[in-house]
Amino acid sequence: MSAQNKPNILLITSDQQHWFTLGCQNPEVHTPNLDRLAKRGTIFNRAYCPNPTCTPTRASIVTGMYPSQHGAYSLGTKLDESIPTLGESLSQGGYKTALVGKAHFQPLIGNEEFPSLESYPVLRDLDFWRDFDQPFYGFDRAELARNHADECHVGQHYALWMEEKGLKDWQRHYQNSWPKGFGHENNRYQDDRYPTEAQEHTWSIPEEYHYNAWIAERSNALMEDYTRNGEPFFLWSSFFDPHPPYLVPKPWDSMYDPAKVTVPKLVPGEHDKNPEHFRKTQQENPDFSDWQEPGGSGMHGCSSHLHTEEQMAKDIAIYYGMISCMDKYIGSILDKLEALGISDNTLIVFTSDHGHFFGQHGLKAKGPFHYEDLVKVPFIASWPGRIPEGIESESIVSLVDLAPTFIQAAGAKKPNRMTGLDQMPAWTRQVEAVRDHAIVENRHQPTTIHVKTYIDSQYKLTLYYQREYGELFDLEKDPNELNNLWDDPESQALKATLTRRLLDAELGKEPLPMPRIGPA
């Protein structure tokens, strides 16, 4: 494929965005720019993450492998730099590759065995980032940040950009007290002149210095450079919102009236048939100590999820404001594509790394609760003349499929280790579907929170390693997932069938680093 015929590839992601928060599907949310992208592409209503936390799924996006295969299986782990990546394949195929925004391929703590560029204290070492010019997981250029809203993890390229824009005292808009265990013993970057308290709902930072503006500006500049030089590109514009904390600058903090948003609620008794950790979330001070095991890696989401309807309504209003603010800057990127005259030759995908709870099932944020709210993601694919425009599809897609699909579209060579599937035949409607199932993994503890979920066109089965409990839902008859059939006597044959399908799916996704080239 000649350089002139190679499509540009633009991946735009949000972080922790519920699948039902596109304005074209949910009139409570205002997303005019994502709506126009949907009009010129296809919305895939059955898109799933391979893991409902950041690092594992983001590593899957760039490797085309499941978390259990690429090794970054949980928050607090690191993607091994030796794993072949999407960026490397595209670079070898003649592409320029760049990532602007959130990576989260590495943890906030590094050590001698597992050093991390996304850890303290290097996060705040702006001299290091000013001179940073090296490939990063296959990206020729990586311009990074790590904070969500006013989190103290701010630094890297984003902080440099704020200073270049004239915001010399950017620290006053962020928490400046490092959490215990994140290098607090080293106060090199502590500045007691600025507040350390977390802000609520209204972020003090002016919108012009918000990381949305940074991501859009730098994405547009890179696309302009690549287009001027006649270079096909793969660009990942990686936004941070609407991941909590619920915080957004004016005027977006008042765009939505809490009294007018729909607040999902717990259905009384819905967790009676679920594993114990679901029920514990509805206690004021739950004790999860019996779920913590040697060799575990935290209990993310295993805490009280109790909340008032009033507080949740306020949080939802800000969550929607964060989405609408982000949508504005996504629009800036789409406008730049048009201005450069390259939109017709650009494959665009918008999605999120995983979903979010804002009251559904009585839950908030995320955790080992594999409801559709958390494991399903918004997903739009657009490629004029190839992907149908203005339609919705029920074809199952996994984010692990992005890398092999992009590689196929670029005419590049796919690494043998990639186990995701090329979705282009389904996206272009050559076939109805490429896959008949999705698998979602989640591993925070060796057995108590070591989960695999199998999802097909009708059913969802969740197994826990060496545990007797589990979940089984009929998504057609019970789309809100209120009736767990795991222990239902009449559903035992179905459970056995789905367990066998999960085993077949696991066998089918084993990585094969090389083909068999000889008889012995």
pLDDT of 354 reads 98
Higher pLDDT, 171 or 192: 171
Give which of 160, 161, 198 is closest to 177, Cα–Cα.
Answer: 198
pLDDT of 182 reads 53
Q: Taking the CB of residue 490, how many other CB atoms lie within 10 A of it?
A: 7
Following DSSP, what letter does each residue of 213-239 receive, concatenated? HHHHHHHHHHHHHHHHTT--EEEEEE-
b (16+ CB within 10 A) / e for 224-237 = eebbeeeebbbbbb
Banded pLDDT at 403 (limits 50, 70, 90): very high
Domain 8-169+200-435 - what CATH class? alpha beta
Phi/psi of residue 452, nearest 5 degrees: -135, 135
75, pLDDT greater than 60: yes
pLDDT of 44 reads 98
pLDDT of 299 reads 80
pLDDT of 49 reads 98
Q: Taking the CB of residue 138, how many other CB atoms lie within 10 A of it?
A: 23
Percent of the chain with pLDDT over 90: 88
pLDDT of 187 reads 40
CB 223 within 8 A of CB 236: no
pLDDT digits (tens, 9 = 90+) for 225-275: 999 999 999 999 999 999 999 999 999 999 999 999 999 999 999 999 999
Q: What is the DSSP letter of 283?
A: S
Average pLDDT of span 55-79 = 96
Q: What angle do CA 177, 183, 187 make, to 5 degrees?
A: 60
pLDDT of 321 reads 98
Residue 99 and residue 136: Cα distance in Å, rounded? 9
pLDDT of 184 reads 47
pLDDT digits (tens, 9 = 90+) for 452-509: 999 999 999 999 999 999 999 999 999 999 999 999 999 999 999 999 999 999 999 9
Half-sphere exposure of 201 toward its Cβ, with a 13 Å CA cutoff? Answer: 15
Residue 426 and residue 446: Cα distance in Å, rounded? 36
178, pLDDT greater than 70: no
Dihedral angle over CA of 478, 479, 483, 489, nearest 10: 50
Average pLDDT of span 423-441 = 98
451 pairs with which residues across the strands?
442, 464
Q: What is the DSSP letter of 198?
A: P
Please, what is the average pLDDT of the chain? Answer: 94
Banded pLDDT at 180 (limits 50, 70, 90): low
Question: What is the DSSP pairing of strand 233-238 with strand 96-102?
Answer: parallel
Residue 333 and residue 448: Cα distance in Å, rounded? 43
HEC-encoded secondary structure of 384-441: CCCCCCCEEEEEEEEHHHHHHHHHHHHCCCCCCCCCCCCCHHHHCCCCCCCECCEEEE
423, pLDDT greater than 60: yes
Average pLDDT of span 209-218 = 98
HEC-encoded secondary structure of 121-181: CHHHCHHHHHCCCCCECCECEEEEECCCCCCCCCCHHHHHHHHHCCCCCHHHHCCCCCCCC
Sign of the dihedral defined by the CA atoms of residues 436, 441, 446, 448, in that order: negative
Percent of the chain with pLDDT over 70: 96
